[in-house]
Chain A
């Protein structure tokens, strides 16, 4: 089963869930409706023909006006993967959590929240994962300005170049 078949199966199972199918040579992926992300993921996991039982990867992207969450799920049974993207507006980047559908999403969502500030509604423990808790801002956003201080540490140095 290739991505077209996953696409059509998903369109049957979750009407309106898939917005677009991207068939680029490098990373074919489905663009899914952020509002329906939970339905889509549940269907991917539980449908007999799909059985994507493992989420290998979840990450975030800054696409300017939009922030994006990228999901990649793996079916150990059928030995295939699928990639999905869900876009949320930059001003209010909220999307439902899928950490109760695939437990591995728990830390990934924390990481995406930490570095890009996407908020995952319903996540049991949405704290920063890598950066200290008192860190300000989300450094993988394109408009992030590097801090010159952290707490009482002056982090500037003249390299003379």
Chain B
């Protein structure tokens, strides 16, 4: 029955008018302009730069680097995280406004990678901040990082932003 309603409604609309719901519109807006925090920690950062460059061109998905955590939606942890740096990464993450997402890029950020048994290297960034997408590779190719961004976009598309914001407020969560 609803379907018939919708069809008749669409038919009655003039050209160039679309209907949707607010949640979907907000999600579409958010996923189409993901600003990622401009920082890199080791060799993976070179591949992150390639991904932002003209061949992979992350910009065509609306993702541009932002050099301050306070205006970034997405953190791409690209590289080896030492224990000394782990505190700083956490602080950067905490400075980002909600809603925020994290991509763990490369073996080092995932698990410590080839430095896993070094005394000074953090064994995975998920020890200090929550991670949405893990990208394997040493380093991952720009295609892999691009796919991770698309996965984040899929995730955002499914989210109900308004509900989430309310839930966060009542929970008093960060």
Mostly, the A contact residues are loop
Which chain B residue has the least Cβ–Cβ distance from A156? B123
Which residue from B83, B112, B116, B117 sits with its C-beta under 8 Å from A153?
B83
Which residue from B87, B111, B117, B120 sits with its C-beta under 8 Å from A131?
B120
B117 surroundings in chain A (CB, below 8 A):
146
Q: Are B123 and A131 in contact (CB under 8 A)?
A: no
Query: Is A132 an interface position by the 8 A CB rule?
Result: yes
When chains A and B are docked, how far (Å) is the Cα of A144 from the Cα of B127? 23
**How many B residues face the partner with a CB closer than 8 A?**
15
Q: Are B120 and A139 in contact (CB under 8 A)?
A: yes
Query: Is A64 an interface position by the 8 A CB rule?
Result: no
**How many A residues face the partner with a CB closer than 8 A?**
14
Query: Is B114 an interface position by the 8 A CB rule?
Result: no
Interface residues of B in 34-79 (CB under 8 A from A): none
Interface residues of A in 93-146 (CB under 8 A from B): 131-132, 139, 144, 146
Please report the number of residue pairs spanning A and B whose Cβ atoms sit closer than 8 angstroms.
33
Query: Is B92 an interface position by the 8 A CB rule?
Result: no
Which residue from A131, A139, A144 sits with its C-beta under 8 Å from B84?
A131
1/0 per residue, CB under 8 A from A, across B98-140: the answer is: 0000000000000110001101101110011000000000000
| In the complex with contacts A132-B83, A132-B84, A139-B120, A159-B127 CB distance below 8 A | no
Which residue from A144, A154, A157 sits with its C-beta under 8 Å from B119?
A144
Mostly, the B contact residues are loop
Query: Is A27 an interface position by the 8 A CB rule?
Result: no
Which residue from A132, A146, A153, A159 sits with its C-beta under 8 Å from B122?
A153
Q: Are A157 and B111 in contact (CB under 8 A)?
A: yes
Query: Is A89 an interface position by the 8 A CB rule?
Result: no
Query: Is B96 an interface position by the 8 A CB rule?
Result: no
Q: Are B119 and A147 in contact (CB under 8 A)?
A: yes
When chains A and B are docked, how far (Å) is the Cα of A6 from the Cα of B101? 62
Interface residues of B in 147-161 (CB under 8 A from A): none
Which residue from A144, A155, A156, A157 sits with its C-beta under 8 Å from B83?
A155
Interface positions of A (Cβ within 8 A of B): 131-132, 139, 144, 146-147, 150-151, 153-157, 159
A139-B120, A146-B117, A157-B112 given; 9 more Cβ-contact pairs under 8 Å: A144-B119, A147-B119, A153-B86, A153-B128, A155-B122, A155-B123, A155-B127, A156-B123, A157-B127
